[in-house]
Amino acid sequence: MSSNPILARLIKVARLYYLYNLSQQQIADKLKISRPGVSRLLHEARDRGVVHIEIVDPEGNGADIERSLREKYGLKKAVVVPNEGASDDSGLKQRLGMAAARVLDGLVREGSVVGISWGSTMQELIRHLNPRRVKDVTIVQLIGGIARAEYDTHASEIAMKLADNYKAVPFLLPVPAIVDDVRVKEALMSDSRIARVLDLGRQAEIAVFSVGRLDHGCLMCRAEYFKKHEVDALLRKKAVGDIISRIVTDAGGVCSPELDARTVGIELDDLKKKPFSIAVAGGREKLPVIRAGLLGGYFNVLVTDEETAVRLLDLK
């Protein structure tokens, strides 16, 4: 029996429902709680990793899109979540985060070095991880964060929570994602502590991150990393978004070498060298930058939604 009474209760309810086939009402009567209370406990059991649900499709139809993505873009793994019932962007991010959490949790092993970026999708990933202790795991923040508090995406907090999940050591990068002058970046990188974090980011065998669109309303613009005329200039050069805060064109290349030189974090080419480079992103607005990342070869694992996957495959 678990020493954690809440966890013990989740296990008991899950066993009664999934192993002994009691109905939710029967469990409610047995445990003297409400039927909605049983439903909430079953949902929590899935969210906390007490219950893992596997769907076996004998005909393989459910895996067709994922297999096609792997084949077309040379991916190691593709995970596609449904759009039905995800009524808004936050609902979709929750599904993406949940699916990505399962992928990441399946990869973390003793001695793993895991790099993570920031953003609301990464926050959802953290929320759905299964807490467990893994020996000698290191967590590292891959890129600098957002300096303006009202647009803060909790970059350091995300890395710290991921470390806490695995009882690991976190290494943080408490600097802006983009600085005003390349000399500022050079000064930052000359600091031994910053240099160590960046070196760990390059060494990480697992990197997990989302991607961002580029337009006048995007997060990096609201955080005043770019002025309006700079965004216009990038768009004229066919910029479609950012991957680990580095602006890419629709073909997957670096849009502005000068801007790239002022960006603090690991580089796009570092992502290509990783055994597992995991992009977690979906939705129509992010389709161009997801496609650009695939063309550039910056990730070999993709967690996305069904509508985006169909468009990536150019299916009708």
- Same domain membership, residue 164 and residue 122: yes
CATH number of the domain to which 111 belongs: 3.40.50.1360
Q: What are 278's two structure tokens?
A: 């995991």
Structural domains of the chain, count: 2
- Same domain membership, residue 167 and residue 226: yes
88 burial (CB, 10 Å; 0-12 / 13-18 / 19+) is exposed
In angstroms, rounded to a whole number, what is the distance separating the alpha carbons of residues 262 and 273?
22
275 lies in a domain?
yes
Range of the domain at 42: 5-47
Confirm if 83 and 91 have CB atoms less than 8 A apart: no
φ, ψ at 186 (rounded to 5°): -60, -40
**What is the residue-level pLDDT of the chain in tens, covering all 316 positions?**
456 888 889 889 988 988 887 888 999 999 999 988 898 898 888 878 788 766 555 544 447 899 999 999 999 999 999 887 666 788 899 999 999 999 999 999 999 999 999 988 999 999 999 888 999 999 999 999 875 545 455 788 999 999 999 999 999 998 989 999 999 999 999 999 999 999 999 999 999 999 999 998 888 888 778 888 999 999 999 999 999 999 999 999 999 999 999 999 999 999 999 999 999 999 999 999 999 999 999 999 999 999 999 999 985 4
170 lies in a domain?
yes
- Same domain membership, residue 39 and residue 130: no
- Same domain membership, residue 276 and residue 182: yes
- Same domain membership, residue 130 and residue 12: no
- Same domain membership, residue 126 and residue 16: no
- Same domain membership, residue 281 and residue 140: yes
203 lies in a domain?
yes
The percent of the chain in helix, strand and coil, each rounded to the nearest 5, is 50, 15, 35
- Same domain membership, residue 282 and residue 153: yes
Q: 120-127 and 155-165 are packed helices; what angle lies between their axes, rounded to 10 degrees?
A: 20
Q: pTM here?
A: 0.81
Q: What are 30's two structure tokens?
A: 């047995």
86 lies in a domain?
yes
**Nearest by Cα to 94 from 245, 282, 277:** 282
Task: Give the CA distances from residue 115 to residues 10, 248, 258, in Å, rounded to whole numbers and listed in that order.
Answer: 31, 20, 25
- Same domain membership, residue 269 and residue 182: yes
220 lies in a domain?
yes
97 lies in a domain?
yes
CATH number of the domain to which 17 belongs: 1.10.10
In angstroms, rounded to a whole number, what is the distance separating the alpha carbons of residues 115 and 293?
18
201 lies in a domain?
yes
- Same domain membership, residue 105 and residue 24: no
How high is the pLDDT of residue 271?
97
- Same domain membership, residue 127 and residue 238: yes
